[in-house]
Chain A
Amino acid sequence: MPLRSLSLLVVASVWSLLVGVVLAFAPDLPGRLWLGIGAVAAGWAVAAVLAARAGAGADAEVATPMARFDVDLSACLAAFDEQFKAVEADTAQILGALADAADQLTRSFSAMHSALGAVAPRSGADDAAARANVRELLAAVDRVVEAETTTRLRDDVLMQEIAARVARAGALLHEIDGIGQEVEMLAGNASIEAARGHEGRPMAMGASQVAALAARTQAGSAQIGAVLAVMQTLIGQARAAVAANHAQRVADAAAIKAGALRWLADGSPRAALDHDAARVVEALQFQDIVGQMVGHLAARIGGMREALAELGAVAHDAVCARDAGAVRALSERAERIGCVLKGVAERGARPPVRRGATPDGSVELF
């Protein structure tokens, strides 16, 4: 029982006992014995009610910061999770856009390839059929350039949206950090009050729980923050790769077009066209590389969402933790969150491909 409740109970009981004794021994008062007993009983009943109310008030004071923390943290985590869902949806859109672009470009390339094949047997004779085939090739090149322009605009908008959402998620993370620090400060004050003996043991217990929860939340936030930073770098790499890819393909298509025009004009050898077509094949593969990078990003976001959901559950359950066993269980769960995030970070450190490291095209026979 809290000190405040006990004090109230003692004071009210002594006071009602005194009134009862005075009434019971008052001279010339009819039924004085029963009046005295009644006064003592009523006084004790009032004392019990007051003590119970004071106890409940103290419990409410213990629960208030925890409950507030839980509500604030849950709201933040929900908003955070919403951002990640949006990032996942955007990532899926980019993957779809890349696949569409690959299909479209492959069709265009296929047309180019057929046109080149048709030119070959006639390369010696500059006849009307060969010219028609090369004109077809030029039309296919124009389609590649057109497709690239559309795709580039779409990819750029989507990448910018992803970057904005990651930045928003980062801001929310700072809010979680802020809540953690605020609650830790409240918990510190409460511990000082408890040490002075103002509120006694229950408040001290509440303070240690809140402090532990705040510390774990901050540690989790720091880990998620580190993963977010890597995500931002990865998005930057993907954007650079997409831009380089588009630029490369447009340049290659332009080279093929120039070669075809030269062929039309002076009958240059077809090998030059073959060489340029090979460059297009090489450039088209960057589509796949960007797709892998975005896929890697999506996997990382998935891992973070898992960790966030568990962090939210720990914060929620901390409100109900009233003993050392429950707090230990929460600590174990917090450790598991750390493990999940560590796993996400380790997998993140091994992307299937890095923009600067891959396009070497090297060959090694064992």
Chain B
Amino acid sequence: MTKNVLAVDDSASIRQMVNFTLRSAGYTVVDAMDGRDGLARAREQQFDLVLTDQNMPHMDGLALIRALRELPAYRQVPILMLTTESSDAMKAQGRSAGATGWMVKPFDPLKLIEVVRKVIG
């Protein structure tokens, strides 16, 4: 069965790149343009993995993770940060918010596929 991935990023080009990369590896990808949009889509449909940027308007990545972890359906779902932020302090915040992992942009498409396979199979 095809796994569903929610890709949350305010940059249309990044969403497209993630989409291309993961679709070519056999995943179904749904886009969201910011944290608020991502949360709404996560409430509408169950995803196997959430990939989110950090710096976005309306709701940032950390706030999205905290909000998702409040939902019973997303307590155990892997959430990966995909962001240009790379400081240890930010990573620590991500970990305490409930992130499963942290990837720094620009991402290597082959590495992204490898990580996603490791996390959700």
Interface residues of A (CB under 8 A from B): 99, 102-103, 106, 109-110, 113, 117, 275, 277-278, 281-289, 291-292, 352-353, 357-366
Contacts and interface: CB of A to CB of B under 8 A. Distances in A.
14 contacts: A103-B12, A106-B17, A113-B24, A282-B108, A288-B105, A292-B84, A352-B84, A358-B106, A361-B107, A361-B108, A361-B111, A363-B101, A364-B102, A366-B95
A222 B105 CA distance: 36
Interface of B: 11-14, 16-17, 20-21, 24, 55, 84-86, 91, 94-95, 99-111, 115, 118-119
B16 to A, nearest CB: 5
A361 B106 contact: yes
A358 B16 CA distance: 20
B102 A366 contact: yes
A364 B91 contact: yes
A362 B104 contact: yes
Contact of B20 (A110, A283, A286, A362): A110
B110 A365 contact: no
B84 A113 contact: no
A51 to B, nearest CB: 66
Given A360-B104, A364-B91, 5 more contacts: A282-B109, A288-B105, A288-B106, A352-B85, A363-B103
Given A363-B101, A365-B115, A282 B106 contact: yes
B61 to A, nearest CB: 12
B99 A288 contact: no
Given A117-B24, A292-B55, A106 B13 contact: yes
Nearest to A365: B101
Nearest to B17: A281
Contacts of A364: 91, 101-103
A365 B118 contact: yes
Contact of B99 (A277, A287, A366): A366
A137 B16 CA distance: 19
Contacts of A109: 20
B21 A353 contact: no
Contacts of B105: 285, 288-289, 358-359, 361
Contacts of A282: 106-109
A77 B75 CA distance: 55
Listed residue (A99, A103, A358) with the most chain B CB atoms within 10 angstroms of its CB:
A358
Contacts of A357: 86
B100 A366 contact: yes
Nearest to B18: A281
Nearest to B114: A363
Contacts of B99: 366
A277 B110 CA distance: 10
A359 B104 CA distance: 7
Contacts of B24: 113, 117
Nearest to A102: B13
B91 to A, nearest CB: 7
Q: Return the 3 tightest CB-CB contacts between A and B, nearest first.
A: A285-B106, A102-B13, A365-B101
A288 B54 CA distance: 14
A117 B20 CA distance: 12
Which of B13, B85, B91, B111 has the most chain A CB within a 10 Å cutoff?
A: B13
B111 to A, nearest CB: 6
A361 B104 contact: yes
